[in-house]
Structure 1
Amino acid sequence: MNKNELIAAMATESGLSKADTEKALNAFISQVGKVLQAGDKIQLTGFGSFEIKERAERTGRNPKTKEPITIPAGKVPVFKAGKALKDAVG
């Protein structure tokens, strides 16, 4: 499912227009990014949580030359599914 299909499905289920649904989805995505940038965590009970994890510096390989390279440390966004979502899926 792509973004347009998600918007259409959400609009059908909520009874909102596609334009309003798209605004709501874009606002959600924007806020998740802003909160994570600030270093905070978002918890949606039953759905899951979004947070930032620190990734340590590590050694990798250049796939073309097979030479070792150093991959710098960094921060990555992580989503952890909640119990209700896990139960619904599997």
Structure 2
Amino acid sequence: MNRTQLVTVMAEKSALTKKDTQAFIASFQKMITQSLAEGDQVQITGFGTFALSYYPARAGRNPQTGATIEIAGANKAIFKPAKALKEQL
């Protein structure tokens, strides 16, 4: 399901218009992004938790030349589903 399909389904299942649904999804996405950028996690009971996970620097290899390169460490967003969501899947 892509974003357009999500907006359509959510608008059909709620009393919101497509425009209001798009605004809701955009603000929800911004809120999660901002919270993660500040180092906080976002926990939605019954659904799951969005959090940051730090992946440390590591050695890698250039597949074309075979040379060893250093891959910088990075924060990555992760999602851990709640128990209720896992059970439904």
The equivalent residue for 1:23 is: 23
Structure 1 segments, 4+ long, off by >6 Å, are: none
Q: Deviations over 1:9-53 (max 9, x none)?
A: 111111210000000000000000000000011110110001111
Aligned residues: 89
Structure-to-structure mapping, 1:45-60, within 5 angstroms: 45-60=45-60
TM-score (norm 1): 0.93
3-state SS of paired residue (1:43): strand
The equivalent residue for 1:72 is: 72
Letter in 1 for 2:26: N
How far does residue 69 in structure 1 lie from its aligned partner after superposition? 1.2
How far does residue 7 in structure 1 lie from its aligned partner after superposition? 0.6
Gapped regions of structure 1 (runs ≥ 5): none
Letter in 2 for 1:18: K
Q: What's the C-alpha RMSD, in Å, of the aligned pairs?
A: 1.0
Gapped regions of structure 2 (runs ≥ 5): none
